[in-house]
Structure 1
Amino acid sequence: MSAARASRSVARLAAVQALYQMEVSSTGVEAVIREFSDHRFDRDVEGETLASADEAFFADLVRGVVREQKPIDAAIVKRLAQGWRLERLDATVRAILRAGAFELMHRSDVPTEVAIDEYVELTKSFFEGPEPGFVNGALDGVARDVRPG
């Protein structure tokens, strides 16, 4: 994996963590972005330096999901099983779906397959059950809706 792709993968993971943190603690978007920039990126963990994050990409994801949350949520809900509400999903899954849907809807520079694959892989780092398949199906559906052809 190239350094640029790795730094975007780290940014996606951080964005999901930031969105989750904002939801459970009601922290504002700029405060969360500042916290990640000041305290989480480019830190040593047990003597190992984490891959550096694409901080501009991270901030764009987090701000974008917050700014576009209503249309993002509507695009996701359209792809949930009938009768399912977004609130029923695990908060981490919700954050993953929102970040993935934002990329599909607003980051045309990111190929569809890359966006979906990145968020499915990210889901696998949090869950061992059916969640990665669920995320794959939901994001694939969103992609078909927002990126025709």
Structure 2
Amino acid sequence: MSDSENTPKKTKVSLTDKRRNARQYTLQALYQWQMAKQPVNEIEAQFRVNNDMGDTDVSLFSQLLRGVTAHCRDLDQAYSLYLDRSVEDLDPVELAVLRIGSYELLHRLEVPYRVAINESVELAKIFGATESHRYVNGILDKLAQTARAAEVIAKRGR
């Protein structure tokens, strides 16, 4: 047997998977930021050192983490119109997921609104409470109706 037969083949990670990994790390970093109130640059440095980010879009991780924390109040204000409770009463995981989804809807226009919502719903399914993905979906869908009105209308017209 040759060495190449004994060496496990490394599968190539898709860009979609790298972005999904970035969102997952961002969620975890935001959770830490929300709970520990550490400076975001310290949290980002910790994540880069303590995690193997070889299969992660590190640039997206940084952009989301820094963007969400920089625009936190505006994001909270944007989606809070659709909440059935105050922002302070949200579960910390739901809060972080809503902030990521809202940031993508409002500041990453190159990301289709359905992708922004679906990725947030997936985060809520993995990390959130049992039905939190439904709640996140409803809130972000309503936000998309105003934040991405032209895109939503164009999708429905097809």
**Do both share a fold (TM > 0.5)?**
yes
Output the amino acid matched with 1:63: R
Q: Report the counterpart of residue 20 of structure 2 in structure 1.
A: 9
| Larger gyration radius, structure 1 or structure 2 | 2
- State which drifts further: 128-137 or 7-16: 128-137
Aligned length: 138
> Is 1:19 aligned with 2:22?
no
Q: Report the counterpart of residue 71 of structure 1 in structure 2.
A: 74
Cα distance change, pair 70–128 in 1 and its aligned pair in 2 (3 A): closer
Using the alignment, how far apart are the partners of 1:128 and 1:59 within structure 2?
A: 26
Three-state SS of the structure 1 residue aligned to 2:149 is: coil
Q: Report the counterpart of residue 99 of structure 2 in structure 1.
A: 98
Deviations 1:49-82 (A, max 9, x none): xx7110010000010011111110001111112x
Runs of 4+ in 1 over 3 A off after TM superposition: none
Q: Report the counterpart of residue 31 of structure 1 in structure 2.
A: 42
Q: Which runs of 5+ in 2 are unaligned?
A: 1-12, 151-158
Higher RCO (CA 8 Å, separation ≥ 6 residues): 1
Three-state SS of the structure 2 residue aligned to 1:145 is: helix
Q: Report the counterpart of residue 7 of structure 2 in structure 1.
A: none
TM-score, structure 2 normalization: 0.83
Using the alignment, how far apart are the partners of 2:98 and 2:88 within structure 1?
A: 12
Using the alignment, how far apart are the partners of 1:130 and 1:18 within structure 2?
A: 22
The percentage of counterpart residues that share the same residue type is: 35
Using the alignment, how far apart are the partners of 1:76 and 1:128 within structure 2?
A: 19
Q: Report the counterpart of residue 109 of structure 1 in structure 2.
A: 110
Deviations 1:4-27 (A, max 9, x none): 110000000110100000111111
TM-score, structure 1 normalization: 0.88
> Is 1:141 aligned with 2:142?
yes
